[in-house]
Structure formats: structure tokens, C-alpha cells
């Protein structure tokens, strides 16, 4: 088994390490989600369609001596039969290695990620409607990214290629090897990092933030060479807890928390908002996720009972 370096190594070597360590990690939690789509007009919901797709979340921890490996994955996609032929999907997988300090506090020392997503260029409901009318049987662009982060620098790769329309999010595992081969054929970009920014990724930052027990938290993570600020604010949500209890998603409705998330790209100040619901005291996978994919579209992922 390769040993994690204190310095950045070649991205290909990090990718091999990523694959090997992930394969050994036992799955501590795996959750399926139903995807719903909400059409918005001036921010007001005007149409909702449930079950337009589905997703899966994975969370795992593995201890190796003084190191703990955190594996996180979220993959999702539309069901063309339920989404009027629309076939969009994506996946992100992260591995973060923590080392225990003398005070038994974990600190992140290395991170890697691999992800891909089919193109979604629509900026209005009218453009989305045109795509629906012409989506069936059309090959589509798929952007693939891979990166590694250590305390001093990051390495990233990115490429876009067309994938056959016969693929869907259900065939993500079959798509992964050729996409990895394609992205690893590109030259990596190297960027120096500030030594006071820990080498962490997005999903990891969310999980650590909501599990901190704090009402408000703030952290900085890296993705594709840029740094992002993540702000989280959480509080009890009794109404959502009752609804989720009735839906069979929780036995402890009084422990359901709502988390407001705000992401800011520190290079251009672009902001993205999301919400999720979770169990208080449980740093695992969320019960529900809401994400504004476009000004006219909100996607909802809710655990399947």
C-alpha cells in the first residue's frame, strides 16, 4: 500500500492511492434518495414533480494507526422516463485522511476527489423546455475532474468529452473507468496553497461542520484550484421533524435540525445556497437536501423510507 506523502505527489499516483484505499474502506452508511424537481417563478414554487430521479450517499471511516480515512460520495441523476426524456447525472467522491494530534484531535493532512457531471447549460425555463423536446437519443458532454490537495499545494485535472445517450446515472460504475482514463491523459495544474488552509474538500467540510455541535460554523475548502468559504447555520426544525416522522424517515422528530449553507468562491465572490436536514448528534448522511440548481429550478433529495 502506498504511503501518503507530506508533499504533493504526481496526480496519477494520488489517483491510484485513492482507488486502492477506497476499495478497502468498509461502508459505514449508505442511503438512497428520491429526487424531486420544483419549478420556480420569481422564487415561488409553481410546479413540483416527484420521483424525477434518484441518488445515493455513502459515508465511511477507516482507522489505520494514527490516521483516519474519511470516504464520502454523492451520486444522482434523472430518470428519463419520469423526466420527459431528460438524462442528466453526476457523481463526486472524496477521500480525506486525518491524523490524530497529541491531544487526540484530528487534523486533515491530505485529500483527493474524483467527479463528473453531464452538461446542464440551460439558464431559463424556455431553454430547458427546448432541451426536453430534443433530449432523447442525443449524446451529451460530460465534464470530469480529479484533484489532490495537501497542506502546501493542489493538483487538478479537468476534461470534457461526449458520452453515449445509452448511459444514465444507473451506469455510473461502468462510466467511471473510461472517464478516469480520459481525465488522467490531461496535464495537471499545480497551485501553491496557503499553509493555514487545511487540505479539505466540500462534502467533508459539510459533514464536519454539521457534526461540530455549533449553531454556526465556518470553514474553507478547495476545489479545482479555487478556495471556497462554507458557512453553516443550524437550528431545530420541529415542523420538518413531524413531517419526516409521518413519512417514516425518523423515529425522533424532536431531533431533526435544518442547516442553511452558503458557499462563496473566494476568487470571484460567487455565492451558492443550499439547505439540508439531519438528526441532531448524528454527523452522518442528511435526511433531506435542497439545492437551487438554477434560478427557475430547485432539486430536492429526500431519503427513501
Q: What is the mean pLDDT of residues 3-19?
A: 40
Predicted structure pTM score: 0.84
Domain count, the chain: 1
C-alpha cell at 156: 487538478
In a domain, 178, yes or no: yes
Distance CA 22, CA 5 (A): 17
In a domain, 191, yes or no: yes
In a domain, 291, yes or no: yes
For 108, the domain range is: 11-303
Let me know: does 274 contact 291? Beta carbons within 8 Å: yes
In a domain, 184, yes or no: yes
Ranked by mean pLDDT, the top range of 129-138, 234-243, 288-297 is 234-243
The larger pLDDT score, comparing residue 164 to residue 44, is at 164
In a domain, 4, yes or no: no
Q: Which residue has the cell 424537481?
A: 37
**The pLDDT value given to residue 198:** 85
Share of residues in the chain with pLDDT > 90 (%)? 45
Question: How high does pLDDT run on average in the chain?
Answer: 81
**The pLDDT value given to residue 281:** 64
In a domain, 6, yes or no: no
Backbone angles phi, psi at 129, to 5 degrees: -65, -40
In a domain, 5, yes or no: no
In a domain, 215, yes or no: yes
Amino acid at each position: 500500500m502506498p504511503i501518503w506523502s507530506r508533499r504533493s505527489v504526481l496526480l496519477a499516483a494520488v489517483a491510484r492511492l485513492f482507488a486502492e484505499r477506497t476499495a478497502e474502506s468498509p461502508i459505514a452508511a449508505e442511503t438512497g434518495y428520491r429526487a424531486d424537481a420544483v419549478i420556480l417563478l420569481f422564487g415561488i414554487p409553481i410546479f413540483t414533480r416527484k420521483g424525477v430521479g434518484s441518488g445515493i450517499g455513502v459515508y465511511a471511516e477507516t482507522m489505520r494507526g494514527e490516521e483516519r480515512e474519511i470516504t464520502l460520495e454523492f451520486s444522482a441523476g434523472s430518470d428519463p422516463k419520469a423526466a420527459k426524456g431528460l438524462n442528466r447525472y453526476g457523481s463526486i467522491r472524496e477521500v480525506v485522511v486525518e491524523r490524530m494530534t497529541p491531544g487526540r484531535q484530528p487534523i486533515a493532512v491530505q485529500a483527493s476527489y474524483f467527479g463528473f457531471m453531464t452538461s446542464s447549460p440551460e439558464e431559463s425555463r424556455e431553454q430547458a423546455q427546448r432541451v426536453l423536446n430534443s433530449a432523447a437519443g442525443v449524446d451529451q458532454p460530460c465534464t470530469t475532474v480529479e484533484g489532490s490537495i495537501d497542506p502546501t499545494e493542489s493538483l487538478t485535472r479537468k476534461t470534457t468529452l461526449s458520452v453515449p445517450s445509452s448511459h444514465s446515472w444507473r451506469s455510473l460504475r461502468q462510466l467511471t473507468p473510461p472517464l478516469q482514463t480520459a481525465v488522467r491523459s490531461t496535464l495537471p495544474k499545480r497551485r501553491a496553497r496557503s499553509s493555514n488552509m487545511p487540505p479539505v474538500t466540500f462534502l467533508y467540510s459539510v459533514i464536519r461542520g454539521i457534526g461540530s455541535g455549533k449553531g454556526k460554523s465556518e470553514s474553507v475548502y478547495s476545489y479545482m484550484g479555487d478556495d471556497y468559504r462554507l458557512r453553516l447555520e443550524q437550528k431545530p426544525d420541529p415542523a420538518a421533524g413531524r413531517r419526516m416522522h409521518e413519512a417514516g424517515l425518523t423515529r425522533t422528530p424532536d431531533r431533526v435540525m435544518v442547516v442553511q449553507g452558503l458557499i462563496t468562491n473566494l476568487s470571484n465572490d460567487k455565492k451558492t445556497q443550499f439547505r439540508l436536514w439531519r438528526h441532531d448528534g448524528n454527523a452522518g448522511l442528511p435526511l433531506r437536501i435542497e439545492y437551487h440548481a438554477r434560478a427557475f429550478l430547485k432539486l430536492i433529495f429526500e431519503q427513501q423510507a
